Amino acid sequence: MNIRRYAGLLLIMVCAAASATAQGYRLTRADSLIDEGRWTEAEGLFYSQSQRAPRNPVMRAALGRYIAMKGAVRTGMVLIEEAQRFGLDESEAQTILAPLRAVLEWRASATMLHRDSTLSVRPPSSDDALFQIPFPRTDSAGRVLDRTDVSEVVWHDVVDRGIGLDSLRTRSRPIGIEVFEAFVPSLDVRKQELTLHTNGRSALSATGKRYSVMRTAAGVKVLVGDRRVLSLPAALRELSPAWWQLDLVHGILVVR
C-alpha cells in the first residue's frame, strides 16, 4: 500500500475513533484462573458464579469483562451495563467500558478499507512491541507534509496494549494493535510484510497452528501450553513463526 494513502486512512480513522486507557478493576477467582492459564476452568466459573447470583453486579461485570476479553466486545458491554443497573458503581463501570467503546469505534472504522492491503514493516525496536510501521511526517495540525519521501517517514512501534494512535505527531510514540484488529492483520516475518484483510473471518480458514488469545488491560495474552500464558510479543518470540495472523474478534492466533 502507498504510504501516503495509508497515512490518509489512519488520519481519517483518528477522527472516527478515540483511544482510551484501561485501568484496574476488582478481580474474582475466575480472573485469577485466567492468569494461571486455566482458561477452560475460568470460563466455567465466570458463567456459574453469574448464574448463582444473576443480579450480583460484580459477578455480572466479571462475566461481561471475560466475554469482551475473548472478542465479543459488544455482548460483554451489554452485561457490564446490566451490572451497573444492578448496582455496580458508575465510575467503575465506565472505567471498564471506556476501552471497550474505543475498540468498537476502531472496528467500525474498518469499513474504510475495501480490499486487502499490504504494507512493508520493520522489526520492533523493543521486546514489548510487535513490529514497526511507517508514517509520514505531519505538521503541527496533523496534516501530512506535501513533500514526503522515504527520508521523512517516521517508524512507529505497534504494541498489543490498547492505546490507539496516541500521538502520531510525537516521534517514536507507539500505536495500539486495536487500530488494526478489525483487519485481522497477518505478518509475513521473512518478507516483513503486513497484510490488512477486508474479510474479518479470514483467520478462521487460515492454515497453521492455533492458539487461544485474550485481550487484557495489560495487553494480549496467549495460551501457549498447559497453564502457560505469555504476552503476545513474548509468545511470538518463543514460537518464532515465519508467518502469523491475529484475530482478536474470534480470540485466536494462527502461526506457521
Q: Which of 254, 246, 252 is nearest to 207 (CA)?
A: 254
pLDDT digits (tens, 9 = 90+) for 221-250: 999 999 999 999 999 999 999 999 999 999
Q: How far apart are CA 253 and CA 256, in angstroms?
A: 10
pLDDT at residue 101 is higher than 50: yes
| pLDDT at site 114 | 83
Residue 157 domain flag = no
| pLDDT at site 19 | 38
| pLDDT at site 5 | 57
Which domain covers residue 78, as residue numbers?
29-109
In this predicted model, which residue has the larger pLDDT, 214 or 110? 214
Residue 9 domain flag = no
Please provide the DSSP assignment of 157-189 as one string. Answer: EEESSS-TT--TTSTT--EEGGGTGGG--EEET
Angle at 181 (CA atoms; ends 28, 72), nearest 5 degrees: 40
Residue 127 domain flag = no
Angle at 146 (CA atoms; ends 141, 148), nearest 5 degrees: 105
Q: Which of 157, 174, 182, 24 is nearest to 103 (CA)?
A: 182
Helix (H) or strand (E) holding 117: strand 117-120
Across the range 111-115, mean pLDDT stands at 80
pLDDT at residue 12 is higher than 90: no
Residues found in the chain: 256
Read off the pLDDT band of 113 (50, 70, 90): confident
Side-chain-facing half-sphere of 218: CA atoms under 13 Å: 11
Percent above pLDDT 90 for the chain: 68
Residue 94 domain flag = yes
What is the bridge-based pairing of β-strands 186-188 and 243-247? Answer: antiparallel
Residue 76 domain flag = yes
| pLDDT at site 15 | 47
Contact yes or no for 103/162 (Cβ under 8 A): yes
Residue 220 domain flag = no
Read off the pLDDT band of 141 (50, 70, 90): low
Read off the pLDDT band of 18 (50, 70, 90): very low
Residue 103 domain flag = yes
What is the domain-level CATH number for residue 86? 1.25.40.10
**Count of domains forming the chain:** 1
Read off the pLDDT band of 10 (50, 70, 90): low
Residue 212 domain flag = no
Mean pLDDT, all residues of the chain: 86
**Residue 187, Cβ density class (10 Å: 0-12 exposed, 13-18 middle, ≥19 buried):** buried
Contact yes or no for 226/39 (Cβ under 8 A): no
Helix (H) or strand (E) holding 230: strand 228-231
Contact yes or no for 211/245 (Cβ under 8 A): no
Read off the pLDDT band of 139 (50, 70, 90): low
